[in-house]
Amino acid sequence: MERDKRTAPIGVFDSGVGGLTVVREITRQLPNENIIYFGDTARVPYGSKSRDTIIRFSEQIIRFLKSKQVKAVVIACNTASALALDTVRYEFDVPIMGVVIPGARAAVETTKNHEIGVVGTDATVQSGMYTKIIHQMNSEIHVREKACPLFVPLVEEGFKEHVVTEEIIEYYLESLKKTNIDAMILGCTHYPLLCSKIREYMGDRIQIVNPAYETAMDLKKLLKEKDMENDGVEEPVSRYEFYVSDAAEKFVNFANTVMPFDISKANIVNIEEY
């Protein structure tokens, strides 16, 4: 494959800041790759929206990312992965992957007693996509899904360490904690930002699975298969660009609490134009 396809960026998107947990992992595992991130901060949350709307939003964002010549797209949002991936992957001539399959696989490999819990948005849980994918991998596994819609605004508002967050974690997770699950998937890219509190509440018996790690591994595999890996020879320093549909300053402040490097700006995009 010719040089410029290899140095082209990876497009990553989410409904807001949650996808940064996936970007963080991609930068760790694929340090030579350039990244264009889009956070749909004007239209978050996706978790309470219909399938048709989530597909339309995803199509607009992929058209925007394609205008930046991305070589692959990662849907770093469980809701869009669960509801839109099956549609958009056939509509665009660029490889597109989501976070649900990597997350499901990680949990299947983690569980010892075949009891898995999944927490996510209303839309993800209602889609039943995690259960479906896990059952394709192993039909004997019992899956319990639980929607935790208030986790997203808590993260977006920076309430990671707040006492209110602890109460809401208990409110949502009390019933799951009483079951036999030994692995629990954080099926929303915002939730890893509450990981330490969730882990503290669920205790050592339950392994918490964050799909971000497996997603970055799958991306690495995909780039290798398609001969699209960036070896970093041409541009030794990777470029990361951030775009949002609203509230750029708030996004930058938040991103700087999540990412291991400084982000100086995010550009506003009128995503409805795409």
- List the structure tokens of 271: 């995503």
Closest CA to 10 of 31, 36, 28: 36
The SS3 call for residue 182 is coil
The SS3 call for residue 87 is helix
Alpha carbon distances (Å) from 150 to 41, 119, 156, 194, 206? 16, 12, 10, 12, 22
Nearer to ligand DGL, 154 or 183 (CB): 154
Q: How far is the CB of 113 from ligand DGL (least distance, A)?
A: 26
* List 54, 154, 188, 219, catalytic entry: 188
Nearer to ligand DGL, 46 or 240 (CB): 46
Q: How far is the CB of 47 from ligand DGL (least distance, A)?
A: 3
Q: How far is the CB of 21 from ligand DGL (least distance, A)?
A: 9
Nearer to ligand DGL, 46 or 64 (CB): 46
- Whether 195 is a known active-site residue: answer no
Q: How far is the CB of 127 from ligand DGL (least distance, A)?
A: 10
Residues that bind ligand DGL (CB under 6 A): 14-16, 18, 44-47, 77-79, 121, 124, 152, 188-190
Nearer to ligand DGL, 29 or 48 (CB): 48
Burial 185-200 (b: 16+ CB within 10 A, else e): bbbbbbbbbbeebbee
Residues 6+ apart with CB under 8 A from 190: 16, 17, 18, 21, 151, 152, 155, 156
Peptide bond preceding 149 in cis form (omega within 30 of 0): no
* List 75, 77, 108, 125, catalytic entry: 77
Q: Provide the angle, in degrees to the nearest 10, between the axes of the packed helices 129-137 and 78-88.
A: 70
Alpha carbon distances (Å) from 88 to 93, 129, 135, 171, 189? 10, 16, 23, 35, 19
- Whether 148 is a known active-site residue: answer no
Q: Using CB atoms within 10 A of its CB, is residue 1 exposed (0-12), middle (13-18) or buried (19+)?
A: exposed
| β strands within 153-235, DSSP E | 183-187, 207-209
Q: How far is the CB of 18 from ligand DGL (least distance, A)?
A: 3
Of all residues in the shown chain, the one whose CB is closest to ligand DGL is 47
Nearer to ligand DGL, 70 or 76 (CB): 76
- List the structure tokens of 121: 């948005």
Q: How far is the CB of 76 from ligand DGL (least distance, A)?
A: 7
Nearer to ligand DGL, 34 or 78 (CB): 78
Catalytic residues: 77, 188
